Amino acid sequence: MATLKALVVDDASFVRDLVKRTVRQRFPVIETTDAQNGRRAQSLMSRTSFDLVLCDWEMPEMSGLELLQWMRQQPQYAKVPFIMITSRGDKDHVIEAVKEGVSEYLGKPFSPEGLSKKIIKVMGRRLKDAMDHGGKSMDGPVDAFKESATLLTQKRDVPEPRPEPSVNAPDSDNPLLAASGPTPAAAKPAARGAMSLASVRFADSTLKSVVKDINLTEVRVIARRDQVFPGILDQAVVDIDVGDGQMARLNGYVHQLQAVDKRQDTDFVSVTIRFVDEDPKKMEDLSRFVARFRAGGR
């Protein structure tokens, strides 16, 4: 029986479901409620007491940082653990969240193990006592995603270090131009536009790629086969330079993996990422990039 309550806040229902599933499977003593933005979370928190808040940063109506600031001003929530789960992992944002009283910071995409460790860290003895009282063990995090698409998901044995994402890399870092011999016609970017690089981040790796096509729903990128690839339904964050020094960090999941050539030894793989964000600001940034991409960067 659940004895603790957690509030999951994210504008993307896909991400909320992943967080809730991890918490439910790993910590059955925690009951989860979700909200699509900070304003809705604020309303729920005014009516119900929560023992833990797991929150995104960028959301419409009220951001995660604004919710955190409001929380710390409420006597009943002044010391309640708050885990910021976001794709904004640069130093300045981390420092800003720490100043406002964040308990822990978890970058997207996250693994079930990573999320579990953060929850254990901020909940401490209270969570352990609740688990012990319920006869549950906290030994060894459970992979909350194993129940979904087991046959379709490619598992990685050894995680690679995650380099800093960069979409402004020189041509020498281009995963397609680095290939030996001529680039296959099928792997070349659309003739209508200049080559656009994208860094696609997963829980255990970063994929350097070239944007083949993009719209407001999804992006299709081409990447060299010699990199570490994700599995179907894995979380992803697509970092795209939208101009004027601005970076759009779009949350999504792997919708499709496909060989570029109709042969087993193809050098390139096509990856389709389906976006899940509902933040109007992100959609505005994406719209500008799509228009520029289709106009050929002119």
Residue 195 has pLDDT above 50, yes or no: yes
Residue type, 202: F
CATH number of residue 207's parent domain: 2.40.10.220
Q: Number of structural domains, the chain?
A: 2
Is 280 a member of any domain? yes
Is 104 a member of any domain? yes
State whether 114 and 227 are in the same domain.
Answer: no
State whether 186 and 110 are in the same domain.
Answer: no
**Residue 88 lies in domain:** 4-133
Please tell me which residue, 150 or 248, carries the higher pLDDT value: 248
Sheet holding 104-107, edge to edge: 30-35, 4-9, 52-55, 82-86, 104-107
What whole-number percentage of the chain has pLDDT above 90?
56
Closest CA to 251 of 49, 94, 56, 68: 56
Contact 253, 233 (CB under 8 A): yes
Mean pLDDT, the chain, integer: 81
Is 140 a member of any domain? no
State whether 201 and 248 are in the same domain.
Answer: yes
State whether 126 and 189 are in the same domain.
Answer: no
What whole-number percentage of the chain has pLDDT above 70?
78
Is 163 a member of any domain? no
Q: Could you report the per-residue pLDDT of 78-130, keeping only the tens digit for each?
A: 999 999 998 876 778 888 889 999 999 999 999 999 999 999 999 999 999 99
Residue 40 has pLDDT above 50, yes or no: yes
CATH number of residue 88's parent domain: 3.40.50.2300
State whether 73 and 176 are in the same domain.
Answer: no
Least confident range of 3-12, 59-68, 168-177, 190-199: 168-177
Q: Could you report the per-residue pLDDT of 240-290, keeping only the tens digit for each?
A: 887 777 778 899 999 999 999 988 888 999 999 999 988 888 888 889 889
